[in-house]
Amino acid sequence: MDFESPSSQAVERALGKIVASGLISPESRQAMLLTKIVTEELAGRGDRLKSYSLAIDVFGQGDDFDPATNSIVRVEMHRLRRTLGLYNATLGRREKVKIILTSGSYRPKFEIAEDAVPIDAEAGDKSGGDRAPPGRPPRMGGRAIAALTSLVMVLVALAFWRIEKTMPDCSLPRPSLEVATGGARSSDQITLIRAQLSSTLGLYPLVVGVDRNTKPCAGAPGYLATIKVLKINNSDIVSAELTRRNSSEVIWSENYPLSREVTAPELDLVVAKIAYRLANEDRMIPLDAYATDWKNAEAKRQFTCIMDAHFLFQAEYEELRQPALDCLTKIADAGSKHADVYGLLAAFHYYIAHDFWPGDVAESRAKFEEYLAKGSKIDPMNREILINNLREARDQKPPATEEILRVGTIIQTMASADPHLLNQLSRSLGIGLGEWGEATKLSERAFEIVGESHLIATTVYSTVIASGDWERARAFMNKFKYADMETIAVLNLAVAIHLDFPDIRRESISTLANFGLDSRQKVEDFVNVYYLHPSIGEPLLAEIRKVPPQEFTKPPAVPEVVVKPPTE
């Protein structure tokens, strides 16, 4: 049976609903790409939709674009197919006009679904046709089912995750946080911020969100975050304040100015920043809970174990490695129902299996798969589970493109406020798929949320270099020129050589020497280990090899400045 074709006006309305749905940001690449292919198809120019033309018209590529070596269009089309599938299965499931992208084609199809019913028409439909019985959702047509087959597992996982996150999970005792609002200004705006913040906090594994009607985890400390929108000097300010429950003592507060014409992305960023500062492992609530006595000593011990493991991976505190591994294993062996425990254990064994840390490689390989499977069964959306999926996918030879894109779709749809997930997705798109432009955007977004983090700073700085944008790298060099970290110093050195900044060149060589990298060969070896992907490592090595070896042996002395006393 042939499907009836919708009118151009109906397709344009359907396009508008998709872009306004929240699954696609109106300013995003996906929105631009979708609008382009729909407009061209409606204008009768669908046969011109090729990788080359889309690369130039939508993604700003030059005339020398080569689709054989640059996969930007294929990757973005793949993401768009998944996003459309997600929309058609959820928010747009009852829309009559469907925009469909089939695999292997850049041309969209426009269909009127046989048994889709617009939400606003349900009440008035008395036709008595092939409708689902009351209480049962409408059936999906055969073509819609076929188009969505590849998304079934993702949608099941997302539904499971949403259900789980509505309930306080105390399978691992954690400090609780209630979000409240204060003040009388911008009631709609503050309600939106509160809802977004409560949802975003669910991304962080060391804090459990509660409300006034929900019991916090027994024996663990409780906190209250109060959010206000204030008017100061004719400007709106989002004010965030953290106190302990049943206490007026302010632990932390910060103000976030808004522009006069505030946009949804701007509010999203403010919410992401507040959530990070409240709930990340090295921020306010976890650190305060770490230093606070708990009513339940065993709960505190378990929380401390998890906290130490997160510290280990974020700050590379090697002395925490064995104690954290031992206590995590003990919690898991006792039958923990918290996905974070298994995700962290999988990360431990990933590092051992890939010979980054000492241990039995074969045994850790099996342990990695075991713990990852257990954690995925409990909560497939847990941060550590998703990060391990990305690590595994990008390390395969060749990289598992479909898996990277699958996890990437989940992160950008459901967890785009978590800077650590954005950072790992950035690494996977760059190192795994060679999409350094997109990788840079994601890592810059992550860095914008955190404000400071040597781990994320290293990613964003190195992706800029990998993309060949040395002028952009200059800004990072100036920002981090005094950073006392070998991972940053080697990037500073390369940029300083390329752009001819002798003072920063000397400073970087001195910093590297302080870490035992006191010869050019040692610095090259470090690059080959730490920045092993050729897109990053090769430009670094090319610059470093311009420096004479003797300059590394003993950093050149800075000329002494003699200050003479003033003469009378």
Length of the chain measured in residues: 568
**Residue type, position 2, single letter:** D
Asked if residues 79 and 85 have their Cβ atoms less than 8 Å apart, the reply is no
Which residues touch 450 (CB under 8 Å, ≥6 apart)?
276, 280, 419, 456
Quote the CA–CA distance of 482 and 291 in Å, as a whole number: 31
Q: Label residue 414 by pLDDT band (50, 70, 90).
A: confident
Which residues touch 314 (CB under 8 Å, ≥6 apart)?
281, 282, 420, 453, 455
Strands 208-210 and 176-182, sheet pairing? parallel
Please list the alpha-helical segments (H only) found in 354-453: 361-378, 383-395, 401-414, 419-427, 436-450
Closest CA to 466 of 503, 488, 439, 444: 439
Q: Name the DSSP class of 32.
A: H
- Tell me what pLDDT residue 245 has: 86
CA 270 distance to own-chain centroid: 16
Structure tokens at 317: 């505190």
Asked if pLDDT for residue 564 goes beyond 80, the answer is no
**Residue type, position 77, single letter:** M
Closest CA to 348 of 331, 334, 337: 331
Quote the CA–CA distance of 31 and 90 in Å, as a whole number: 18
Please list the alpha-helical segments (H only) found in 243-360: 264-279, 284-290, 297-315, 321-333, 339-353
Sign of CA dihedral 238, 240, 246, 248: negative
Asked if residues 119 and 73 have their Cβ atoms less than 8 Å apart, the reply is no
What are 55-91's pLDDT values in tens digits?
A: 888 888 888 887 766 767 876 776 687 677 767 765 6
Asked if pLDDT for residue 160 goes beyond 80, the answer is no
**Residue type, position 319, single letter:** E
As a whole number, mean pLDDT of residues 445-465 equals 89
Asked if pLDDT for residue 428 goes beyond 90, the answer is yes
**520-530 helix and 486-499 helix, angle to the nearest 10 degrees:** 110
Please, which residues bridge with residue 222 across strands?
176
Structure tokens at 419: 């800077």
Choose between 436 and 121: higher pLDDT: 436
Q: Label residue 259 by pLDDT band (50, 70, 90).
A: confident
Quote the CA–CA distance of 473 and 494 in Å, as a whole number: 10
Quote the CA–CA distance of 511 and 486 in Å, as a whole number: 7
Q: Name the DSSP class of 235.
A: E
Quote the CA–CA distance of 203 and 177 in Å, as a whole number: 13
Please, which residues bridge with residue 238 across strands?
229, 256
Which pTM value belongs to this model?
0.67
Average pLDDT, the chain: 82
